[in-house]
Amino acid sequence: MSHTVLITDPLDPIAYAMLEEQGVTVDNLLDYDEATLIEHVRNADGWIVRSGTTVTDDLLDHADDLTVIGRAGVGVDNIDLPAATRKGVLVCNAPDGNTISTAEHACAMMQAMARTIPQANRSLLDGEWNRKQFAGAELHDKTLGIVGIGKVGRAVAERMQGYGMDLVAYDPLVSEEVANRYNVSLVSLEELLTESDFITIHTPLNDETRGMIGADELQACKDSVRIVNCARGGIVDEPALLDAIQAEEVAGAAVDVYTEEPPESDHLHELISHPNVVATPHIAATTGAAQEKVARQITEQVLKALANEAVSTPVNGMAIRMAAQPEVQPYLMLADRLGQIAHQLTDDRIRNLTVRCQGEVPKRFAEVLSVAALRGMLNQWADEPVNFINAPVIAEDMGLSFTETRQSGGDRYTSLIEVVADTDDGTYTVAGTILNGDDLRIVRINDYNLEVHPDGELLLYHNVDRPGMLARVGGILADADVNIGALALGREARGEMALTAISVDDPVPEAVQRSIANVKGVTGVRIVRIG
């Protein structure tokens, strides 16, 4: 049977050749309005996109014949995965095609920034001969801080060793054993900021990493530091970076990604045009070789899916199979969110993750629930989308051990999923249950029993159990116009330390967190984001 594949973003010609060779009709739609796109989606069996197309729930509602969506690249944040899964549409990606291209671009940006090559070139073209002005800096014997050592970060590490750089890295998931293979020393983010002469970013953009290099972090750096961001716009706070460069608290920056693409805000134009900044228009992954690799890989996956063959890079493959069994959906969501919380309970590197299923959790789902918890944890930091298929592989690649156990009972809840994260500093536990079929609850954090919905933003802190403590914290939140949605408190005994969990409707600013931490009797203030 003949198939039609819709392509709505530019692809390397190899993709068209491969599809046509298999007798597939190619619907090439690169210029369209929404109504036109809807008409073409109706007739598509497969759909290949890059980052320029947003695949929404509404579009999928019109795609009755659609079997597979192929994302020519790594990130799938432009695809509504839950909607595709509900629709039974397989989503696959091409995670390996542009790793080398992105790493090489980051290295090139670092060198161009260090030696002020673009600035010197412009000066020469203007008829000037300012050799002293463009003396630049050497990379040899300098310390390079790598934030995130997934595939791209490791490729950068391998290349920059050849320049004689000392390599340090911050990555809360990668083990020391894995880092040592790349001659990288694992350090805390604070150590990386204070020790590094150059810093390069290679993390995903999510709630945990958004703005992670902000004004406070830049203040902690050396005034001579130079920063490279070829990962995602928004990981480095752009206004804060501009302020730091203008104040000569950061020597320079090399930027390929932006919160707005193309950049439109005044502060972005100021950043891009600053004489100490090297800027490119999100081209790290756009070499000819990378685009051919990505196009070839994603076309192979789409053809296999249309032929009802197994694909090697499914993003939601297991989820589609589980979607046919609605009784497992609440358990999958609970396990995923427990994994998210476990990761955020500690700043230390997690060495081992244990998932325990107890009581009436269906036995046939135990394995996939364990993988769901692992996926929830890894998705907080991994530099590629994590799914049911690749989560165990990514964990192994990071040196993270993973165990699962099952217990018949022993708890007051009829069903319980418990996630335990082991670190060098201690063990962190979060447990949850499901009430009335679909009501998800956290019921224990470490040694404290409490009940709270695992959704949105939670403010967690320990406090001395005495009158007035909640009123003080509540007053600080009220003064900051942060609304409390719900709260729960767990304690070991009256008058001893308690754990308070407050569900808030609005983000809690860092200044407010510091005010709460300054309340006498309050310790361990932490924000946990779930979703």
What H or E segment, with its residue span, contains residue 364?
none
The Cα 4–Cα 2 span in angstroms is 7
Q: Provide the strand spans (E) within 126-189.
A: 143-147, 166-170, 185-186
Average pLDDT over all residues of the chain = 91
Across 94-108, average pLDDT: 91
Query: How many Å apart are CA 238 and CA 242, to the nearest integer?
Result: 6
Q: Mean pLDDT: which of 402-406, 412-416, 478-482 is highest?
A: 478-482
Q: In angstroms, how far is CA 489 from the centroid of its own chain?
A: 30
Instruction: Confirm if 226 and 252 have CB atoms less than 8 A apart.
Output: yes
- Is the alpha carbon torsion for 93, 96, 101, 107 positive or negative? positive
| Residue whose entry in the numeric block shows the structure tokens 């992954």 | 285
**Domains parsed from the chain with CATH numbers:** 4-94+289-316 (3.40.50.720), 99-279 (3.40.50.720), 322-530 (3.30.1330.90)
- The residues near 489 (Cβ < 8 Å, ≥ 6 apart) are 450, 470, 498, 499, 500, 501
In tens, the pLDDT along 459-471 reads 999 999 888 999 9
DSSP, residue by residue, 241-288: HHHHHHTTSS-EEEE---SSSS--SHHHHHHHHSTTEEE-SS-TT--H
Map tokens 């293979």 to a residue: 181
Q: Which of 145-154, 219-228, 311-320 has the lowest mean pLDDT?
A: 311-320
Identify the pLDDT of residue 87.
83
Task: Say whether pLDDT at 324 is over 90.
Answer: no
Catalytic site positions: 232, 261, 282
Beta carbons within 8 Å of 470's beta carbon, 6+ residues apart: 487, 489, 500
pLDDT at 437: 79
- Position 330 pLDDT exceeds 60: yes
CA 299 to chain centre: 25
- How many C-beta atoms lie closer than 10 Å to residue 254's C-beta? 26
Percentage of the chain surpassing pLDDT 90? 68
Assess whether pLDDT exceeds 80 at residue 263: yes
In this predicted model, which residue has the larger pLDDT, 2 or 475?
Answer: 475
Tokens standing for residue 111: 């060198």
pTM of the model: 0.79
pLDDT band with cut points at 50, 70 and 90 for residue 501: very high
**Residue 322 pLDDT class (50, 70, 90 cuts):** low
Distance CA 74, CA 56 (A): 18
Which residues of 112-210 form beta strands (DSSP E)? Answer: 143-147, 166-170, 185-186, 198-201
Give the least confident one: 64-73, 81-90, 157-166, 275-284.
Answer: 81-90
pLDDT at 385 over 80: no
The dihedral through the CA atoms of 150, 151, 156, 158 has a sign that is positive
Least reliable range by pLDDT among 22-36, 276-290, 408-422, 494-508: 408-422
Q: How many degrees, rounded to 5, is the angle at CA 70 between CA 69 and CA 71?
A: 120
Radius of gyration of the chain (CA): 25
Confidence band for 166, pLDDT divided at 50, 70 and 90: very high
User: Which two three-digit tokens encode residue 265?
Assistant: 């805000």
